[in-house]
Amino acid sequence: MCILPGNLRTLIAAVLALAAHALPVHAYAATSVSSPAVRGAAFREKQHVWNYDGGVFFVTDGAIEGGPCFRLSGRLTAPEFFNGLKRIDRLNADTVFLRGSRVVTQFPDELRLQFVVFDFPCNVGEKASPERKHLTREDVSSLHLALYWKRGVDMRPAENVTVAGFSVNPLVPPELAHEHHLQERLEWTYVFLVPSQGVPLTDSLVLVVRNREGRIAARVAARL
Q: Which residues pair with 86 in a beta bridge?
A: 51, 98
Helix (H) or strand (E) segment spanning residue 178: helix 174-179
- The tens place of each residue's pLDDT in the chain, 224 residues long, gives 554 443 333 333 333 333 333 322 222 233 345 555 544 444 455 789 999 999 999 999 999 988 899 999 999 999 999 999 999 998 888 899 999 999 999 999 999 999 999 989 888 766 665 566 789 999 999 999 999 999 999 999 999 999 999 999 987 777 776 666 677 789 999 999 999 999 999 999 999 999 999 999 999 999 99
Write down the pLDDT at residue 126. 63
Q: Which residues pair with 113 in a beta bridge?
A: 76, 192
Every domain of the chain and the residues it spans: 8-33+58-77+107-222
Distance CA 73, CA 59 (A): 4
Q: Does domain 8-33+58-77+107-222 have CATH number 2.60.40.10?
A: yes
Write down the pLDDT at residue 30. 36
Per-residue buried b or exposed e for 162-185, using 16+ beta carbons within 10 Å of the residue's own CB: eeeebeeeeeeeeeeeeeeeeeee
Q: Of 165, 168, 170, which Cα lies nearest the Cα of 183?
A: 170
Write down the pLDDT at residue 161. 98
pTM to 2 decimal places:
0.77
